[in-house]
Amino acid sequence: MKRYLIIPALVIRCFLNALAQKKVIVADAVNRKALAFAEVQFATSGFYTTKEGVAILYDTALYYTISYLGFETLEVNPKMLSKDTLYLNPKPLVLEEFIFQAYPHTRKVDFLTIPKKNYSGWPLQGSREVVTRIYPENEIVGVLKNVAFSFEKDIFKKPDKGSDEMALVRFNVYSNDSILTHLYSSKAIEIQANASEKVFLDLREDKLLMSEDGLAIGVEYLGQINSEGTILTNEHVVYLSLSAERSPLYKQNTLVRSVFDNKAIIIPSLEKHFHAENLPHYKGDTRNLAIAFEVFTKE
């Protein structure tokens, strides 16, 4: 009597899916170190590598574009991959030269110390970024010394006792041109997923010059992270502080953009925000990223 082996369809599907995916590590071509949280884009979507530089690529995509600031962009066809490590070649950033002694003074702008005009925060989803364009007034230009920004609790969510959920954010600086040329990225910064928290960065060693055209600065939310260093693809949001405060030294213009498809929207006025009913006094205010920063200036 013949015997037949019956293989469940689910098992076959899992086997085929395993064949159709490739696990690779994205690394620096010079020092061979993994590049944590590099951007991996396909079509108008994408994801980040893990803390160890790991990415899962699927044959169903025609190609992937892998990028990391300071490195050449790499395009790969997942069907043609024969290696399990993808190396990115360094691409030095060319920044304008200057002498610190030529900037003996310091100007400070602080939108974080006026709580009445710092709202409950903009709900920022994973792989989204709030970008503020800063335009100096009266030719007040200089070199960025430091910057600070903050996050706030979700006032509608009750914190879980003993919760240690963590999230990753990144601070970016762009030239103030139409395409937002990328000049600087901080390392990924861990914050508590639902807590009031202030982030401070010392930028003196990064030589970021704010010219007459200004700069664009961004706070990017990569997503919630698990204990293995993998960014979770869930709907979690962090609440980035916004402010309607103004400075006589600088003008601001703020937008929210998607990291992988680069679509952007202007931050709406407060009256269109879902927390507006709690803050009737500030209806109609235009809001920007609530930041504090210092600039070395010539005068």
279, 183: one domain: yes
36-77: pLDDT as tens digits: 999 999 988 899 999 999 999 998 888 999 999 999 999 999
- Strand, helix or coil for residue 16: helix
Residue pair 37/188 in contact by the 8 Å Cβ criterion: yes
Where b means 16+ CB within 10 Å and e means fewer, 149-176 reads bbbbbbeeeeeeeeeeeebbbbbbbbbb
Is 184 a domain residue? yes
Residue 125's domain spans which residues? 100-297
Is 237 a domain residue? yes
274, 182: one domain: yes
Amino acid at residue number 137: E
Q: Number of folded domains in the chain?
A: 2
- Domain limit, last residue, from 44, 67, 88: 88
Residue pair 106/294 in contact by the 8 Å Cβ criterion: yes
Q: Could you tell me the CA-to-CA distances from 202 to 39, 98, 144, 216 in Å, in that order?
A: 24, 18, 9, 17
- Domain limit, last residue, from 31, 58, 88: 88
CA dihedral 128, 132, 133, 139 (to 10 degrees): -150
- Strand, helix or coil for residue 194: coil
Amino acid 274: pLDDT: 38
106, 76: one domain: no
Low-confidence ranges of the chain (pLDDT < 70): 1-19, 94-100, 113-120, 139, 155-164, 264-286
Is 144 a domain residue? yes
66, 162: one domain: no
Is 197 a domain residue? yes
Amino acid 54: pLDDT: 96
84, 135: one domain: no
- Domain limit, last residue, from 88, 122, 137: 88
281, 141: one domain: yes
The CA-CA-CA angle for residues 43, 48, 53, to 5°, reads 125
135, 203: one domain: yes
CATH of the domain at 206: 2.60.120
129, 198: one domain: yes
20, 138: one domain: no
Q: Residue 182 — left, alpha, or beta (φ > 0 → left; ψ -120 to 50 → alpha)?
A: beta
Amino acid 220: pLDDT: 95
Amino acid 96: pLDDT: 64
68, 148: one domain: no
Amino acid at residue number 50: T
Distance of alpha carbon 71 from alpha carbon 74, whole angstroms: 9
Is 93 a domain residue? no
